């Protein structure tokens, strides 16, 4: 009987293990996979005796944990290129939102689309991410903004997970903005989410977390606090779009509720960073939105580092503020625009992204016992992953121990 299902030899391994320095590099490495998990990883010369059903030499190629995109809105209908042109002509994101455009324009298109249409347009986006090494990704609702259409979005996200080899985590973002039916009655809408939508989502197991948009054009901290209390009663972890366009105390709010992550953070204060550090919340940085909106104020990177806040990087793929369906591009932008090191970018799309999804026990590094989600690359050093734009370098993506298709 074989001990392992697959043995990869002659690999340069970047384990990204938190206990190892830098990339966790193993120069002449091997990795043994059994039952979809990593059974052994280390230098070839130390490999224990064992039989493998299949053995493959990687010819010195680099392997890393498969990538994880921990913040996307990739289920949506329509596009907002017209608003992009308006913004190029000086109209602000907030002004567009206040006149019925912005998120609400995607809500109109998404409500009008069938579940099949949403699935068919989202699938190529999932495939595009997989083609660059992503094996786990998160998808938020938030373009339905009523019970029926939020459920429709979450069902599509679940079906994308069932129809592909990827792990897809879904997040209820019904508190994305106030829907037109509740104009001027944001509190009533928050009540609808808590009283009707959340119980149904929980009963049907349609979401893995609850998110909200804390911003003057969306919801206030007290409104979100009310929703978060209810989410926690349903055993759903929370996360927050925080301090993107102004300091709304979002980081502090997220920390107070032990959020998995607080995302964006351009305007987060020193106190907000300290609160996140104390709560162990991950800072998810979204340079695609920063680029697309022409923002100039960067997230407080130095303070995040100094306080030991884990930093993740995500695509934020959405039609309004981050029309970027590429995690690799987000990595490059995070280093160029925010000054993250290439190592921080790779850790931010593997180990720390897993943590932002509450999955660090199971993936994000190449360590014994973790899921065998492995990316094999045609590169000469992992820093290249935060360097090239639009350059295909993935040789192979292994998910749960199995090679995935093209
Ligand atoms: N993520 C979001 O949810 C909002 N901004 C961001 O970066 C708005 C998305 C949208 O405009 O559709
Ligand atoms: Fe977002």
Residue 115: which of 162, 171, 153 has the closest Cα?
A: 153
Specify the CATH number for 2-65+365-405; select among 3.20.20.80, 2.30.40.10, 3.20.20.60, 3.20.20.70. 2.30.40.10
Q: What is the pLDDT of residues 146-174, one digit of tens each?
A: 999 999 999 999 999 999 999 999 999 99
Spatial contact of 16 and 342, defined as CB atoms under 8 Å apart: no
pLDDT given at position 100: 87
Around Cβ 103, how many Cβ atoms within 10 Å?
26
pLDDT above 90 covers a percentage of the chain that reads 97
Kindly state the average pLDDT of the residues 234-251.
97
Angstrom distances, CA of residue 9 to CA of 12, 58, 273? 9, 6, 42
The Cα 313–Cα 341 span in angstroms is: 12
Token match 């249409």: residue? 117
Q: Which atom of ligand 1 is nearest to the CA of 289?
A: 7
Task: State the Cα–Cα distance between residues 292 and 390, nearest whole angstrom.
Answer: 17
Q: How many C-beta atoms surround the C-beta of residue 48 within 10 A?
A: 9
- Per-residue pLDDT of 116-126, as tens digits, reads 999 999 999 99
Gap from CA of 314 to ligand 2 centroid (Å): 9
Classify burial at 278, counting beta carbons within 10 Å of its beta carbon; exposed 0-12, middle 13-18, buried 19 or more.
exposed
Q: For 244-286, what is each residue's pLDDT tens digit?
A: 999 999 999 999 999 999 999 999 999 999 999 999 999 999 9
Q: Atom 6, ligand 1: which residue's CA is nearest?
A: 321
Q: Which two tokens stand for residue 96?
A: 């567009």
pLDDT of residue 103: 96
Within 8 A by CB and 6+ apart from 42, the residues are: 26, 29, 30
State the pLDDT at residue 116: 98
Q: Which residue has the tokens 């000469």?
A: 380
**Most ligand 1 atoms within 8 A of CB, residue of 241, 261, 287, 315 to mutate:** 241
Contact 66, 364 (CB under 8 A): no
Contacting residues for 349 by C-beta, under 8 A, at least 6 apart: 67, 68, 69, 312, 313, 314, 327, 330, 331
- In a 13 Å sphere around the CA of 403, the CA atoms on its Cβ side amount to 12
Q: Given this model, what pLDDT does residue 171 score?
A: 99
The region, left, alpha or beta by phi > 0 then psi within -120 to 50, assigned to residue 133 is: left
pLDDT for the residue numbered 334 = 98
Residues paired with residue 399 on neighbouring β-strands, in sequence order: 402
> Do 254 and 240 touch, CB atoms closer than 8 A?
yes
**So where are the chain's domains?**
2-65+365-405, 68-356
| Mean pLDDT across the chain | 97
Number of neighbouring beta carbons within 10 Å of residue 241: 31
The minimum-distance atom of ligand 1 relative to the CA of 321 is 11
**pTM (2 decimals)?**
0.98
- Token pair 């224990």 is found at 48
* Closest C-alpha among 116, 328, 100 to residue 217: 100
Which of 87, 94, 103 to probe ligand 1 with, by most ligand atoms within 8 A of CB? 103
Q: Is residue 61 over pLDDT 70?
A: yes
CB within 8 Å of 208: residues ≥ 6 apart: 169, 170, 171, 236, 237, 357, 358
Phi-psi region at 267: left, alpha or beta (left = phi > 0; alpha = psi -120 to 50): alpha
350 Cα–ligand 2 center, Å: 19
State the distance between the two ends of the chain, measured CA to CA, in whole angstroms.
Answer: 31
Please check the confidence at residue 197 and state whether its pLDDT lies above 60. Answer: yes
Helix (H) or strand (E) holding 135: strand 134-140
Distance from the alpha carbon of residue 170 to the mean position of ligand 1, in angstroms? 16
* pLDDT for position 405: 67
For ligand 2, the distance from its centroid to the CA atom of residue 318, given in whole angstroms, is 7
Please indicate whether the domains covering 2-65+365-405 and 68-356 agree at the CATH topology level: no
Q: Is residue 135's pLDDT more than 70?
A: yes
Kindly give the distance from the C-alpha atom of residue 317 to the centroid of ligand 1, in angstroms, as a whole number: 9
Q: What is the mean pLDDT of residues 77-96?
A: 95
Rounded to whole angstroms, the Cα distance separating 301 from 283 reads 10
The set of residues, in sequence order, having a beta carbon less than 8 Å from that of 148 and lying 6+ positions away, is: none
Model confidence at 406: pLDDT above 60:
no
Q: Class for domain 68-356, per CATH?
A: alpha beta
Give the DSSP letter string of 302-345. Answer: HHHHHTT--EEE----BTTTB----HHHHHHHHHHHH---HHHH
Note the pLDDT tens digit of each residue in 291-339: 999 999 999 999 999 999 999 999 999 999 999 999 999 999 999 999 9
The C-alpha atoms of residue 336 and residue 347 are separated, in whole angstroms, by 16
**For residue 95, what are the CA distances in angstroms to 102, 139, 401, 404?**
9, 27, 49, 44
Q: Is the dihedral of CA 105, 111, 117, 118 positive or negative?
A: positive
Between CA 226 and CA 236 the distance in angstroms is 14
Structure-block tokens of residue 272: 């907000």
Quick check: 224 and 210 in contact, CB under 8 A? no
Instruction: Give the Cα separation of 62 and 3 in Å (integer).
Output: 24
Residue whose CA is closest, atom 4 of ligand 1? 321
What is the average per-residue pLDDT within 30-45? 98
pLDDT grade for 290, boundaries at 50, 70 and 90: very high
pLDDT band at 404 (very low <50, low <70, confident <90, very high): confident
């Amino acid at each position: 009987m074989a001990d392992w299902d697959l043995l990869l030899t002659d690999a340069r391994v970047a384990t990204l293990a938190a206990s190892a320095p830098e990339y966790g590099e193993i120069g002449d490495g091997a990795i043994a996979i059994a039952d979809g998990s990593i059974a052994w990883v280390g230098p070839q010369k130390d490999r224990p005796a064992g039989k493998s059903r299949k053995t493959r030499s990687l010819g010195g190629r680099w392997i890393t944990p498969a990538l994880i995109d921990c913040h996307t809105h990739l289920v949506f209908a329509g596009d907002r290129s017209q608003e992009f042109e308006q913004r190029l002509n000086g109209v602000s994101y907030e002004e567009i939102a206040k006149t019925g455009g912005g998120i609400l324009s995607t809500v109109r298109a998404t409500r009008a689309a069938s579940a099949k249409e949403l699935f068919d347009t989202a699938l190529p986006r999932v495939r595009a991410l997989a083609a660059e090494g992503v094996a786990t990704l998160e998808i938020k609702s938030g373009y339905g903004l009523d019970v029926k259409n939020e459920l429709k979005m979450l069902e599509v996200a679940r079906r994308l997970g069932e129809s592909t080899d990827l792990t897809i985590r879904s997040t209820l973002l019904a508190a994305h903005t106030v829907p037109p039916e509740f104009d001027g009655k944001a509190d009533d809408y928050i009540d609808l989410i808590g009283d009707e939508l959340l119980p149904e989502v929980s009963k049907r197991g349609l979401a893995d977390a609850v998110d909200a948009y804390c911003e003057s054009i969306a919801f206030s901290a007290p409104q979100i606090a009310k929703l978060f209390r209810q989410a926690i009663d349903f055993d759903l972890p929370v996360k927050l779009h925080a301090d993107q366009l102004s300091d709304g105390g979002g980081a502090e709010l997220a920390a107070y509720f032990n959020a998995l992550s607080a995302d964006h953070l351009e305007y987060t204060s020193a106190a907000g960073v300290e609160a996140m550090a104390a709560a162990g919340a991950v800072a998810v940085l979204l340079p695609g939105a920063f680029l697309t909106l022409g923002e100039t104020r960067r997230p407080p990177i130095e303070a995040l580092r100094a306080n030991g806040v884990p930093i993740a990087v995500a695509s934020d793929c959405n039609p309004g503020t981050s029309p970027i369906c590429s995690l690799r591009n987000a990595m490059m932008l995070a280093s160029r625009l925010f000054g993250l090191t290439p190592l921080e970018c790779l850790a931010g799309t593997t180990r720390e992204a897993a943590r932002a999804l509450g999955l660090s026990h199971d993936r994000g590094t190449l360590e014994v016992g973790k899921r065998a989600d492995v990316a094999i690359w045609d590169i000469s050093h992992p820093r290249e992953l935060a360097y090239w734009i639009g350059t295909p370098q993935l040789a192979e993506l292994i998910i749960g121990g199995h090679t995935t298709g093209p």
